[in-house]
Amino acid sequence: MIEIKNLTKVYKTKKGEVKGVDNVSLTVKEGEIFGIVGYSGAGKSSLLRCINLLERPTSGSITVDGTDLTSLKGEQLRSSRLKIGMIFQHFYLISQKTVYENISFSLKAANYPKDQVKQRVEELLKMVGLSDKRDVYPSQLSGGQKQRVGIARALANNPKVLLCDEATSALDPTTTKSILNLLKKINKELNITIVLITHEMDVVKEICSRMAIMQDGKVIEDGSVYDIFANPQAALTKEFIESVVTLEIPEVILNGCEGPIVKVTFRGKVAGEGVISDTLQQFNLKGNFLHGSIEYIQELPLGIFIMELKGQKQEIEKALQYIENRAAQVEVLRNGL
């Protein structure tokens, strides 16, 4: 659906050239929700704006639904952009126009058949749950309602791709969840491919199937959300995940431990099984649980446990091997053997 190859975007500043996007290659599959994560300045917004050519890349190519957008200009480019809707963090609604007028404006600008505009706007208002707000102005809406208008406007011309630029960053947690549920509904019912940029791993965990981590204009890690949560490789990725799955244990607790401290990661169905209790019984060990949680990502369980093992060295070594054979990963955080 979206294929980005060797994309680079260079900005010219008073201090010289700056690479906003540095040789990025990514593929987004049709009908999936793909997350791009990074801190401010990582290049994720620049990359997103390149996808619909709001920013023209310095080099590289962007193919959307089989069309290389970087090869288009003028009317051909404008026509192809109609396949790509976009929603923004700050909504960008026209304050002097009603909800109905904000949505219909997008249709009129795209030369949508005049006799079908009213019906299309009514359909969109129903889809985003704002039929009762048809004639009110943006100032009378909550933040979540404004974003729903933004989503309806982005969907007006039946796009195949929806780009979301920090779409929930200005919203409270409850409203964020409702907007994410709406995006999931749109993705499922309309089969619209969604690319979502954010600095919030909770958002990615909730809605995305695959993701990429960006730093200094580069993609430093990408893959399925589940796999990245289960086994992050880059230091920045681990930092992001720890903002959602807290694994920090106070030093005073660690100092009181005498045996080895291990982190065990269980993937899939095995996360709900009693592997650790079986291990402690089978190898005559005692376990001091320091931390444990089961996260659900794309409805699949991911179990993460940190514990101190107490017992004979030989038994502990056998137990670690036994756990490793049943788990995705065993990491010795501190070797007390």
pLDDT at residue 153 in the model: 93
pLDDT (tens digit per residue) in 251-274: 777 777 778 888 888 887 766 567
List, for residues 277-304, the tens digit of each pLDDT value. Answer: 888 888 888 888 888 888 888 888 888 8
Averaged confidence pLDDT in the chain: 89
- Averaged pLDDT for residues 228-233: 89
Which of 321-331 are b and which e, b meaning 16 or more Cβ less than 10 Å from the residue's Cβ? Answer: ebbeeebbebe
Query: Where is pLDDT greater, at 267 or 247?
Result: 267
Higher pLDDT among residues 296 and 51, named by residue: 51
**Residues 192-206 pLDDT 10s:** 999 999 998 999 999
pTM for this prediction:
0.87
pLDDT in tens, 306-316: 888 888 888 88
pLDDT at 184: 95
Please name each of the domains of the chain with its CATH number: 2-242 (3.40.50.300), 251-334 (3.30.70.260)
pLDDT of residue 327: 67
pLDDT tens readout for residues 144-194? 999 999 999 999 999 999 999 988 988 899 999 999 999 999 999 999 999
Which of 26-30, 72-76, 144-148 shows the lowest per-residue confidence on average (mean pLDDT)? 72-76
pLDDT band of 123, cuts 50, 70, 90: very high
What's the confidence (pLDDT) of residue 56? 92
Confidence of residue 43 (pLDDT cuts 50, 70, 90): very high
pLDDT of residue 295: 84
Evaluate if residue 119 carries a pLDDT over 80.
yes
